[in-house]
Chain A
Amino acid sequence: MSEHTPTLESAHKAQDQAHSHDHHSDTVTMPLLGTVTVYGGIYTVVFGALAVLTALEVLIAELLKTEYEGLTGAMRIAALLGIGIIKSLLVIWFYMHLGKDNRILRFIIGVPLIVVLLAILYLMAVPTGPGGGYF
């Protein structure tokens, strides 16, 4: 075997390095914030974002804790749900690598999410009252 013939082990290593090189870097380039170097790279940055968003969620919930109905109540719910969805997307995209993996996986998880969302909206739309509603 010549010196340059790839062995199975080196081929595996090369493949793994090519696949996840950017996940291993401690330097992250972000919109607005520019380039940041932090231990853990993008994973630590995402954790920081999750922590800040959670603190923001709790702050909103506590500041408006008497607002459960009406327009302010609806805005409070929209803000909290929006932050919750952003947090979930951050985990799916970066920690579960859905942004990098095969696109078919996005359909596998995306379609059931859409279907159950439609089902929940239907259940919410069923009028309550005599003989009606799902409560």
Chain B
Amino acid sequence: MAEMSLSAAALKQKEHSNANQKLAMWLYLASEVVIFAVMIAGYIIYRINEPETVRNIHKELGVALVTANTFILLASSWAMVMGLRAIEMGKRQEFLAWIGLTCLMGTAFLVGQYIEYSELAHLEITLQDTTSAFAGFGMRFYAPTFFHGAHVFVGVLLGLRVLWLGRKGYYDDNPIGVEIFGLYWHFVDIVWIMLFTLIYLV
């Protein structure tokens, strides 16, 4: 009987701890919403005031590379949630494979972004450009996309940490750490969904 009470108490403590960690991550993500919104607002106003410039930039850039990159990031989100599903089902090896794939696709996304920045450099689109045909675009483009890329980079590092701990069986009994990492990764994916639509398509 005493053991049952102990088990119930431990279970309740685990529930509280998991709920607190999830709450903390959502609060952090709420703060991120505000930061990204400021940058997105800056771009929206530019898009409204300079439709011709944006049209010309879209014509120069094309959408092939960024569309491929978008598919990679969407697939990484799927891999992430499949990893969570696997560890919840007690399949540790499968979980490690999915999280490894998530990190790999995150890295591929960053490589794609590097290639894109190289193309933009050839068009002489820079942060402080105020004189060329694309004046004012650089800061409004690089700030949100680079800030997002930095989040992907941090996400890959966090993913590698999850892999490292997961290998040792850290998440076998309580996969909340994987779920928390997943919340971060999916948020980064959502930010990209909106940046892709607003900056590259609209």
Q: Residues of A at under 8 Å CB distance from B?
A: 1, 5-9, 11-12, 15-16, 20, 23-24, 40, 43-44, 46-47, 50-51, 54, 57-58, 60-62, 65-66, 68-69, 73, 76-77, 80-81, 83-84, 87-88, 91-92, 94-97, 101-102, 104-105, 108-109, 111-113, 115-116, 119-120, 123-124, 128, 133-135
Which residues on the B side are within 8 Å of A5 (C-beta)? Answer: 3-4
A135-B45 in contact (CB<8A) = yes
Which residues on the A side are within 8 Å of B45 (C-beta)? Answer: 123-124, 133-135
Q: Mostly helix, strand, loop or mixed at chain A's interface?
A: helix
Q: Which of A11, A40, A77 contacts B8 (CB 8 A)?
A: A11
Q: How far apart are B173's CB and chain A's nearest CB, in angstroms? A: 6
Chain B residues bordering chain A, tally (CB within 8 A): 65
Q: Mostly helix, strand, loop or mixed at chain B's interface?
A: helix
Which residues on the B side are within 8 Å of A108 (C-beta)? Answer: 23, 26-27, 30
Q: Residues of B at under 8 Å CB distance from A?
A: 3-4, 6-8, 10-11, 14-15, 19, 22-23, 26-27, 29-31, 33-34, 37, 40-41, 44-46, 48-49, 51-52, 54-55, 58-59, 63, 67, 70-71, 74-75, 77-78, 80-82, 85, 88-89, 173-175, 179, 182-183, 186-187, 189-190, 193-194, 196-198, 200-202
